[in-house]
Structure formats: structure tokens, C-alpha cells
Amino acid sequence: MQNKPMMHGYLKLKLGEFELDSGDFSLDLDGVTVLFGRSGSGKSTLLRAMSGLDKRTQGILVVNGKIWQEGSRRMAPQARNIGFVFQDAALFPHMTVRQNLNYGMKRLPKGVAELSDAEFNEIVSRVGIADKLDRAVTYLSGGERQRVAIARALLSRPDILCMDEPLSALDWRSKSELLALIEDVVAAYKIPLLYITHSPAEVERLADRVVFMHDGKIETVETLQEALARPDSPLFAEEGVVSVLEGLSMPMEAGLHPVVMGEDRLWLSDLSELTQKAVRVRVLARDVSIALSDPKDLSIINHFKTTICELIPKGEHRTLVRLLMADGQKLFAEVTNHSAERLHLRVGKTVFALIKSVAVTE
């Protein structure tokens, strides 16, 4: 595609008491766009309106220069070239896995070549359902169903992939496996993904940009970096302020996995299932302590030399300290006002950040 895929418009949809009134929005679609908000904030309604799945949608929607919605006139969803993965997979129960996969392939528009057997096999094995093609869908586990749904959507060769909380019905293990799969699929096929979730961890893992929704409205659209840079981000509402550090994972040494970030190395103990090299690591601000000198005799292994770039009063006698790491990434530390006074923390001062615990975003 020569031009960056993008979407702009203004969508309205009234459903009983609830009213979606998105406001004007304009989105680049390349990579992963996450619609984030509490339940009831209108994420699903917005995505349904964007996909043309609700007749009552009103407004304007232009995608890659094509008009998808104008007033109450709506381009039918079957004409939009979108793939949709629903919360509970929505596989056709009267068909086998293979018949489900073929459903979209049989209905490709004229001029779009059907995938070759090799391409079919590639997708099916990447998604991990190659050995389940002749099963009835009723006998699949939740994770397997979602895999089939993802493959079914991919095989219909969509321009945009939509996913509505595809992990919400799964246990934690299937969740993390599927997240890795979604990352892999997006990277491999370079397909724009619109992804709904209310889990900050999923946002931090997948998103390139975040659409924040509240009360049926789009509040802001921010890049992930912007969204994580402001301490009052809705992403922090539940667990507190989080920093997401990006680095390259290296082979294991002494039972630990180093993640390289410029000059610095972050040591992780739980990287076993990770396949890709670039990783996002999630650090809670309250797990970061500050020392004025580099302590040697301490059980905490992750120490970084940093510079204080901002002190943000947080209320409740606590201060948020924004630290600049050697490679330019920012790290939040949360300390009490008392400690901040005692250590004479000032902008520009060099301090050591001690990270008590880190997690690869799951």
C-alpha cells in the first residue's frame, strides 16, 4: 500500500439508554490501534459502527479515501474488506474447522486471488490449527476457537482486522499464548489491527496508538508513548503508574535473561516463552526505588544510573519521579514526599533507580 491506511469521521449510534457520539476523529491505522476504556464506554459499539455491523449508525466514516458511511447511508459490512474476530469467536457451529475457514475464502471479491495451498498452510500452521482442520468446532477449547476465528478472518484477505476483546473469555495461559500469536500475525502480514480491550497490560504489549473512550465519546487518540508519558493516563487507573521499557532480549546467562537497553541491561527471570527479540517490559512505578549512590550489597539486581527530569506531586504524600535512562527511555518511580525531601531530589540530579520487580508485558 502506498498511502498510510487511515480512517476519519464522526459516528453516532443510539442504543436504548446508551449513546455513542464519537466526536470527530482521525486515525492512522498502520500497526495496532487499541480502543481502550471501561466496560460501557462504547468501545464495542464504536467498532461495530466502524465495521458497519449496526444499521442504525449515523455519521461520516472515510477509510483509505473510500466513504463507508454518510449520514444514515452505510456501505454493507460485506463490502468493506474487514476481518472481525469476536469476543467468543463466533464460529459457525454447523461446520467443521475447515468449512469455517473456507467460508470467507469462497466469498472473495472478484479480482482478489484466492490464497494458494502453500499460503493457506502457512497461515493455518502459524495460527496453530493445522492438526484440527477436520474437527467439529463444538469440540474446540476457547483458545483453539479464537485461533480458528483469527485464521478465518485472515484467510478472507481483509484490509483491516478488527478484534473485540478476543482474550476476555480465556484463561491466563491461553491469553498469553494468543497475545503472542496476535503480535506475530500483525508483524508477519503487516495488517492494520483495531483491537478492543480494557486491560492496560494488553495495551502496553500490543498498541502503537490508543483511542481512549469514555461515556460513548472518543476522549483522545495518543501514541502509546504519549499515553504512558502522562501520569494521569487512564491506563494507570487500576494498578497505578507504569513504565514500559523497550529492549532486546539476549540469551540466558546465569539463569537470567538480559534485556539490553542501550548501555544498560535489565535482568529478567521469566522470559522462557519469549521468541521475539524486541520485548516490552512493564515496570510499576511503586516497584522502583531511588538511591543516591549505587548500592552493592542489595538483593535487587536491576540498578540504573538515571537523571531526574521531572517531579510530579501525586497527592496522598507521594511524589512521582520521572527518570531519564542512559538510552533516553523514561522510567517512573513513586516515592513518599518524606523520602523525596530526605534525599533532596531535584530536577537534573543523578540518582540510581532500583527496580524491585519487572514483568514482560503479558
Partner 1 sequence: MLEIFGTEINLGPIWLTLEVAAITTLVLLVVGTPLAWWMAQMRSSNKVFLEALVALPLVLPPTVLGFYLLIIFNPTGPVTEFLRFFGFEGQLTFSKTGLVIGSVIYSLPFAVQPLMHAFEAIPQRLLDAAATLRAGVLDRFFSVVLPLSQRGFLVAATLTFAHTVGEFGVVLMVGGNIPGETRMVSIDIFDHVESLEYDQAHILSAMMLVFALVVLMLVYGLNRRFGVKVG
Nearer to partner 1, 108 or 311 (CB): 108
Count of chain residues binding partner 1 (CB under 8 A) = 29
Smallest distance from partner 1 to CB 324, Å:
45
Yes or no: say if 358 and 197 are a contact pair by the CB < 8 Å rule: no
Q: Tell whether residue 88 is a contact of partner 1 (CB under 8 A).
A: yes
Contact positions with partner 1 (CB under 8 A) in 122-151: 149
Q: Which of 351, 280, 337 is nearest to 309 (CA)?
A: 351
> Is residue 156 near partner 1 by the rule CB under 8 A?
yes
295 lies in the site for partner 1, by CB under 8 A: no
> Cα 277 from chain centroid?
18
Question: According to the binding rule CB under 8 A, does residue 159 interact with partner 1?
Answer: no
Give me the least distance between CB of 77 and partner 1, in Å please.
Answer: 4
- For residue 140 the three cell numbers come to 474446540
Question: Taking CB under 8 A as the rule, does residue 18 contact partner 1?
Answer: no
Please give the residues from 315 up to 344 whose contact with partner 1 meets the rule CB under 8 A: none
Distance (Å, whole) CA 234 – CA 211: 11
Q: How far apart are CB 87 and partner 1 at their closest, in Å?
A: 8
Q: Does 78 bind partner 1 (CB under 8 A)?
A: yes
**Cα–Cα distance, 252 to 30 (Å, whole number):** 33
Q: In whole angstroms, how close is the CB of 47 to partner 1 at the nearest point?
A: 11
* Longest Cα–Cα distance in the chain: 72
Q: Cβ closer to partner 1: 91 or 218?
A: 91
DSSP string over 31-46 = SEEEEE--TTSSHHHH
Helix and strand element counts for the chain (H, E): 8, 22
C-alpha 302: how far from chain center:
26
**Joined grid coordinates for residue 311:** 517531579
Question: Is residue 312 involved in binding partner 1 (CB under 8 A)?
Answer: no
Q: How far is the CB of 303 from partner 1 (least distance, A)?
A: 50
Which H or E run contains 265? Answer: strand 264-268
| Contacts of partner 1 in 37-76 (CB under 8 A) | 48, 51, 53, 76
328: left (phi over 0), alpha (psi -120 to 50) or beta: left
Where on the chain is the footprint of partner 1 (CB under 8 A)? 48, 51, 53, 76-80, 82-84, 86, 88, 90-94, 103-104, 107-109, 149, 152-153, 156, 158, 162
